[in-house]
Structure 1
């Protein structure tokens, strides 16, 4: 039976294989977070309107658009939420195991003006803080990303 399946699989090369794989596998949303630092080593933190009231502080975060490079998601999300320009750096976190979601985090460096112009629909406040002065109500996983410990 395995040989027959292998023969059929080889016979349908190309787009048909991809279509079958697409139908047979889970589809995931990719959540992308940016750990944005300025030249002084401060970190950009945001108070998110849509997050739970007791944990509204976190890093710039959003979902990758179809076909978007994940590092570019960081650049886009930071620009949309704060108006700031950043350059994405190295990948620092990749985690799956969630139901239909994968989490990714990149370091990012501020490359322009450091004055945020927040999108008040999503973001209530933006601050540049040192890693040892993170605000109360900070997401634990984001605190861990900033301090370099492994998020759970």
Structure 2
């Protein structure tokens, strides 16, 4: 079964902008897919039983070895592939907890490293989303709100807002 078949017609992915204390951004160079050979932010799909913010922490850890905390929600990238697949990516701002542990997931990535955004902007292999974020010159985010319960009748085991 291909990844497309496994994901169905509606995809929900997450990506994390991880900034180091000195302002560098954590980027990865993928071995596969539409971003093969390009610098992009760590990303992956939300799995069954996890919230989007949990998924981004897991994906960044799996791809780069870096443990992070979510600082907020940056935004949403949404599109339709071949007039059929709804492709959605939620972008989070993350704060690294242990930069000393950087290592890349070799089966999925050529490389992972922290690079200054002004250097990335001039990289010919930087993704369009990465370039757009850098050109904005300021990335704002909405903080997460936890501990709310919309009512037991819904059966939520996790419920978070980003406003």
TM-score for both structures, normalised by structure 2: 0.68
Residue correspondences, number: 124
The correspondence of residues 25-104 of structure 1 with structure 2, limited to 5 A, is: 28-52=10-34, 55-98=37-80, 99-104=85-90
Mapped to 2, the partners of 1:74 and 1:30 lie a distance apart of 11
Mapped to 1, the partners of 2:136 and 2:73 lie a distance apart of 12
Cα gap change, 1:81 to 1:100, in 2 (>3 Å):
same
Mapped to 2, the partners of 1:120 and 1:80 lie a distance apart of 10
TM-score for both structures, normalised by structure 1: 0.72
Which residue of the partner structure matches residue 99 of structure 2?
113
Which residue of the partner structure matches residue 115 of structure 2?
129
Mapped to 1, the partners of 2:13 and 2:20 lie a distance apart of 23
Bigger Rg over Cα: 1
SS of the residue aligned with 1:138?
coil
Q: What is the RMSD computed on CA atoms of the aligned residues?
A: 2.2
Cα gap change, 1:144 to 1:57, in 2 (>3 Å):
same
Q: CA deviation at 1:87?
A: 0.8
Cα gap change, 1:105 to 1:130, in 2 (>3 Å):
same
Mapped to 2, the partners of 1:117 and 1:148 lie a distance apart of 28
| Unaligned ranges ≥5, structure 2 | 1-7, 138-163
Cα gap change, 1:53 to 1:92, in 2 (>3 Å):
closer
| Unaligned ranges ≥5, structure 1 | 1-25
Mapped to 2, the partners of 1:60 and 1:147 lie a distance apart of 19
User: Which has more helix, going by share of residues?
Assistant: 1
Mapped to 2, the partners of 1:133 and 1:144 lie a distance apart of 14
Cα gap change, 1:51 to 1:97, in 2 (>3 Å):
closer
Cα gap change, 1:56 to 1:85, in 2 (>3 Å):
same
